Amino acid sequence: MNDKVTFRKDGDVGIVTLDDPPMNLFGREVIDGLLAAVDELLASDCRAAVVLAAGPNFSAGANVTIFRGKTSVDADAEFKKALPLIHKLEAAPFPVIAGVQGLCLAAGLELALGCDIIFAAQGARFSQVEAFIGATTFLGGAQRLAARCGDARAREIVYTADIYDAATFERWNIVNRVLPDEILHQETINFARTLAKGPTRAHDVTKKMLRAFCDGGVRAADAVIFTEAIKLYDTRDMQAGVERILTQGARNVRHGEKDFKGN
C-alpha cells in the first residue's frame, strides 16, 4: 500500500479507503495502492468489506495525464494490471459494499460497480465521462452497468457521458440505497457488520452463482448449484442453522443471534 490508499480492519469488516482528496483521482499510485490494499483484504480473515473514500468526492476518475502520449501497447500493459483489481473485488469470498459520496466518475464508478452493493449519499453524482476524451470504459463500466440496469440504459449512460444523481441511479437499480450524506460511511460499515455476522460461506456461493449468471446466463448459474452450493450441506453454518430453526422456530431465529462462523 501507500499513503493514497489505506486498509484497516474494524472487527470482521475490512475497510479500503481512497485517501487522496479532494478528487481521489486514479493515477499510478492510487491504482497500485488499491491493488495492494485489496490483496491485504483478501489475505485477511475479514467476513465483509467496504470501499470508501476520504474527502468530499468518492473519485472523479482517472488523472488524464496517465493517457497522454501513450500507445495501445502501453494501454494493454496498464489495463492488464488494473482490471484485475475489479476482478478481485468481484471474486472476494464475502460481500463488498461501496459507500459513495460526491463525484463518482469514470474509473471511480467502475470501482464501485466492482463491489456487490452500492450505497450512495443523497448528494452523490455519477457519470461515465470517457466519451469526452474519445474513449470508452476501460475498466469494464459499460458491461457492469448493463448487468445492473440493462444494456439500453448502459448505452445511454456511456454514450452521453451525462451526470446522474443518486436517486436516478437507485431507480435504475445501479445503486442499492440512497442515504443522507452525513451518515453514509457509518451506515455502510454498519451494513457490512450485519453481513459479516451472517453465513459468509453461503454468501460466497451466492456471489459465484450470480457471477456465473452474468457471464453465462441462468443455466451457467444452475451449474454452480452442483459444483458449489451443495457443499454447504457439509458446513457447520448450514447444519447449525437447520437445528436452530427446528428447535427455536423460524420467528425466534430470524430476530435472534445466528452464530454463523463461516465454516
Question: Looking up cell 450441506, which residue turns up?
Answer: 233
Q: From residue 105, how far is each of 19, 184, 248 by CA, in Å?
A: 16, 18, 48
CATH architecture of 5-196: Alpha-Beta Complex (3.90)
Mean pLDDT computed over 87-92: 97
pLDDT of 139 over the 90 cut: yes
At 240, the pLDDT band (50, 70, 90 cuts) reads confident
8 Å CB contact between 31 and 84: no
At residue 23, the pLDDT reads 97
Which residue, among 156, 153, 174, has the nearest Cα to 165 in the 3D structure?
174
Strands 125-127 vs 177-179: parallel, antiparallel or unpaired: unpaired
At 241, the pLDDT band (50, 70, 90 cuts) reads confident
Grid cell in block for residue 176: 442499492
Grid cell in block for residue 156: 445511454
Give Cβ neighbours of residue 128 (< 8 Å, ≥ 6 apart).
105, 106, 109, 110, 137, 141, 142, 145, 157, 158, 161
pLDDT (tens digit, 9 = 90+) per residue, 147-157?
999 999 999 99
At 254, the pLDDT band (50, 70, 90 cuts) reads low
CA dihedral 123→165→88→145, nearest 10 degrees, is: 170
Q: How many residues does the chain have?
A: 263
8 Å CB contact between 128 and 157: yes
pLDDT of 261 over the 80 cut: no
Q: From residue 252, how far is each of 148, 184, 242, 248 by CA, in Å?
A: 34, 30, 13, 6
Mean pLDDT computed over 156-182: 98
Mean pLDDT computed over 57-80: 92
Write down the pTM of the prediction. Answer: 0.94
